[in-house]
């Protein structure tokens, strides 16, 4: 009864299994259940001890040796056949034992209820004196995130791989922030109202995004967010009026850096938003995060990538991977099965600069943990391209090993 899985029991009871329903009802009254079980258990043990004493006296007289031997034999028999063996079987196959036993214990509890109630009066009194308040039905069995994570991890071999991955991603939402999934400021595709109308038309016509950030001269002056669907009719005309674009802007929605993904998902849902601009403690724009970014973090990639995004992660014939420096470490870990640290820099470029403490030159190699990385190209004070190699390839890079 005590070893049974409460959640499996609850599921079986909800499915209408009578034995499970009786077992759940008994476990919801643990004091009464223990009372009737221990009542029967102690009656049988005391009766067996009394019977063995009477038999010993009648066969061998009031001999101390005979009584001692009878006591030892009875203790051995009770331990083997009444205590250890049944309990091992019960803990190994709790459902097989508990469900049939519930059919017997339920009527026994009704018959012995006055005795159990009387005994529990003294038990409750002692607990009150000791200031101990037992948890009520269902209390003490609730699980936190870490307990749920442990259950999912232990069930990994019995769950489909995709289900397991999605469950783990959901449990990680509190530990992942918008900084981990946002598009950094340098990669935001924005519309500048200071540009020529023809350039604006071309940018809006060829954009692969449904919403674009609109700026005035730079991202330091964000005017709003433009839903391209609102201005499609204007793209076919001869003149594209920047004032018309300004009239169709939505107010920019800002969120602080470090916001957990679960919190941001709720914020998107409550505010009916799909795009947010991430700012630091000084109000400086750090990046952009969308609802699709959050959903892809949970279920994996499902949207169509723009051509400009294709190719930042490419596998070569020798087994190495050519990677852009701006790719996120979380994405690298997920795609390549790596274990790069996530508690510091968010991108490969940031991690490399942190280790080098300088702008590295092309051809230099470094080992990040057990992952060899070769710098392929640097541009604008950052690592533009890098090559990630299997460990056996490290000796063939030809660069300086650090």
CATH number, domain with residue 283: 3.10.580.10
Contact 290/278 with Cβ under 8 angstroms?
Answer: no
Length of the chain: 402
272, 299, 326 — which closes off a domain?
Answer: 299
Give a yes or no: residue 206 inside a domain: yes
Give a yes or no: residue 136 inside a domain: no
Give a yes or no: residue 346 inside a domain: yes
Tell me if the pTM is above 0.85.
no
Angle between helices 94-111 and 6-14 (to 10 degrees): 70
CA nearest to 208, candidates 121, 337, 303: 303
> Residues 16, 124: one domain?
yes
Q: What angle do CA 337, 342, 343 make, to 5 degrees?
A: 160
Element housing 271 (H / E): helix 261-271
Sign of dihedral through CA atoms 133, 139, 140, 144?
negative
> Residues 158, 210: one domain?
no
Contact 251/277 with Cβ under 8 angstroms?
Answer: no
Q: Which domain range does residue 378 map to?
A: 311-396
Contact 327/348 with Cβ under 8 angstroms?
Answer: yes
> Residues 110, 41: one domain?
yes
Give a yes or no: residue 229 inside a domain: yes
Give a yes or no: residue 1 inside a domain: no
The residue behind tokens 């469900």 is 99
Give a yes or no: residue 269 inside a domain: yes
Q: What is the pLDDT of residue 169?
A: 81
> Residues 24, 100: one domain?
yes
> Residues 158, 205: one domain?
no
CA distance 40 to 127: 23
pLDDT in tens, the chain (402 residues): 888 888 888 888 988 899 999 998 998 888 888 888 889 888 998 999 999 989 888 888 888 888 888 889 999 999 999 889 998 998 889 999 999 999 999 999 999 889 888 888 888 889 889 888 876 665 556 667 777 778 788 777 778 888 888 888 888 777 888 988 888 888 888 989 888 888 888 888 888 888 999 998 888 889 999 998 888 877 776 667 788 888 889 999 999 998 998 899 999 999 999 999 999 988 899 999 999 888 888 887 665 555 444 446 788 888 888 988 888 888 788 778 888 888 888 888 888 988 888 888 888 988 888 888 999 988 878 888 999 986 554 444 444 333
> Residues 106, 161: one domain?
no
Q: What is the pLDDT of residue 235?
A: 76
Using left for φ > 0, alpha for ψ between -120 and 50, and beta otherwise, residue 21 falls in: alpha
Give a yes or no: residue 256 inside a domain: yes
Number of domains in the chain: 4
C-alpha count within 13 angstroms, C-beta hemisphere, residue 63: 10
129, 155, 190 — which closes off a domain?
Answer: 129
CA distance 214 to 231: 13
The residue behind tokens 């643990």 is 30
């Amino acid at each position: 009864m005590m070893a049974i899985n409460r959640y499996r029991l609850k599921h079986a009871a909800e499915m209408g299994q009578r034995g499970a329903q009786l077992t759940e009802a008994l476990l919801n009254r643990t004091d009464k259940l223990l009372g009737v079980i221990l009542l029967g258990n102690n009656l049988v043990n005391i009766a067996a001890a009394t019977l063995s004493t009477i038999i010993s006296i009648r066969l061998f007289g009031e001999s101390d040796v005979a009584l001692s031997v009878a006591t030892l034999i009875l203790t051995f028999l009770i331990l083997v056949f009444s205590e250890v063996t049944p309990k091992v079987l019960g803990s190994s196959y709790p459902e097989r034992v508990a469900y049939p036993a519930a059919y017997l214990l339920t009527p026994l509890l009704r018959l012995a209820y006055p005795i159990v109630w009387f005994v529990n009066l003294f038990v409750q009194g002692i607990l009150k004196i000791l200031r101990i308040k037992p948890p009520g039905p269902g209390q003490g069995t609730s699980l936190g995130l870490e307990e749920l994570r442990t259950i999912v991890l232990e069930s990994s071999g019995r769950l489909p791989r995709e289900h397991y991955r999605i469950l783990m991603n959901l449990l990680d939402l509190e530990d992942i922030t918008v900084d981990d999934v946002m598009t950094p400021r340098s990669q935001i595709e924005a519309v500048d109202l200071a540009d020529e109308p023809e350039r604006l038309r071309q940018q809006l016509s060829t954009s692969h995004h449904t919403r674009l950030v609109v700026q005035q001269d730079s991202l330091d002056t964000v005017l709003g967010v433009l839903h391209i669907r609102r201005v499609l009719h204007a793209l076919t005309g001869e003149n594209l009026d920047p004032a018309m674009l300004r009239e169709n802007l939505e107010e920019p929605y800002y969120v602080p850096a470090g916001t957990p993904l679960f919190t941001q998902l709720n914020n998107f849902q409550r505010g009916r938003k799909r795009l947010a601009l991430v700012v630091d403690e000084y109000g400086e724009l750090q990046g952009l995060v969308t609802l699709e970014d959050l959903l892809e973090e949970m279920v994996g990639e499902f949207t169509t990538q723009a051509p400009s995004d294709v190719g930042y992660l490419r596998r070569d014939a020798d087994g190495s991977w050519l990677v852009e420096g701006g790719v996120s470490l979380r994405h690298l870990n997920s795609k390549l099965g790596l274990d790069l640290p996530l508690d510091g820099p968010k991108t490969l470029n940031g991690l490399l600069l942190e280790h080098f403490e300088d702008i590295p030159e092309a051809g230099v190699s470094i080992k990040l943990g057990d992952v060899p990385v070769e710098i392929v190209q640097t541009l604008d004070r950052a690592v533009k391209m890098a090559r990630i190699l299997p460990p056996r390839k490290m000796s063939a890079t030809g660069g300086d090993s650090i």
